[in-house]
Amino acid sequence: MKQHFNTKTIVITGLLLAMEIIFQLIGNYLQIGPANINLSLVPVVIAGIVGGPISAAILGFFNGIMALLSPSTIGFFMPMSPAGTVVVCLLKCTLAGVISSLVYHWLKKNITAHGATPIAAALVPLINTGLFILGSFIFFRDWIFAEGRNALDAWGYILLAVVGWNFVIEFASTIVLSVATNEILLTREPISR
């Protein structure tokens, strides 16, 4: 895939970044039970589809910055491992966006854009959450296996309270909204360069 990061891609990336920031702010206040509704992964998916892996990496990185600055991250994870928190927050969504974009563009050549979109959309929350769980095991191991703490209870807390419902809602909303957005984009006439 030959990737051009031209003026059009820069503008699209900027507009999607603005949407991502708005979605992140809205998601901080919208809740279903204990879960926040995270819509900020949708622009990452769309950036990967429309702008390519570089655009997805930029949006994924900024998503990580916003996650890093959230009150729950600062209050819970940062005291346990500042360096680990920064690494996990900045890498998880950046890699998710890049991998999703590469898979989308490969699948688009082999199947169709309509078939590639839900797969790419599913990959972002899967990779994002998977890397969060892996990062928790690597960087927050001391907290999980602290003396006197039942490690199963600690893992249960991370998997159910931090990941559980958030992942289910994030997964479903990212797929539905990304597919709907891309369907709209696919039905429009292409903008001439």
Q: Is 39 among the domain residues?
A: no
Mean pLDDT lowest among 46-50, 70-74, 77-81: 70-74
**Domain coverage including residue 148:** 82-187
Q: Is 161 among the domain residues?
A: yes
Average pLDDT over residues 15-22: 91
User: Looking at the predicted structure, is the pLDDT value of residue 162 above 90?
Assistant: no
Q: Beta-strand (E) ranges in the chain? A: 31-32, 35-36
Name the CA radius of gyration of the chain, rounded. 17
Task: Give 80-102 as a DSSP string.
Answer: T-HHHHHHHHHHHHHHHHHHHHH
Q: Is 53 among the domain residues?
A: no
Q: What is the domain count for the chain?
A: 1
Q: Is 12 among the domain residues?
A: no
Other Cβ atoms closer than 10 A to 85:
21
**Do residues 128 and 59 touch, judged by C-beta distance below 8 A?**
no
What digits encode the pLDDT tens for the residues 79-136? 888 899 999 999 999 999 999 999 999 998 888 777 888 999 999 999 998 898 888 8
Comparing CA positions, the residue from 99, 102, 168, 95 lying closest to residue 132 is 95
Q: Is 165 among the domain residues?
A: yes
Q: Is 4 among the domain residues?
A: no
Record the tokens describing residue 178, joined without a space.
Answer: 């990304």
Under the banding of pLDDT at 50, 70 and 90, the label for residue 192 is very low
Q: Is the dihedral of CA 170, 13, 118, 96 positive or negative?
A: negative
- Cα–Cα separations (whole angstroms), residue 168 to 1, 72, 91, 134, 182: 32, 19, 21, 18, 21
Q: Is 16 among the domain residues?
A: no
Helix (H) or strand (E) holding 68: helix 53-68
- Entry pTM: 0.82
**Do residues 44 and 59 touch, judged by C-beta distance below 8 A?**
yes
d(CA 166, CA 162): 7
Q: Is 88 among the domain residues?
A: yes
Chain length of the chain: 193
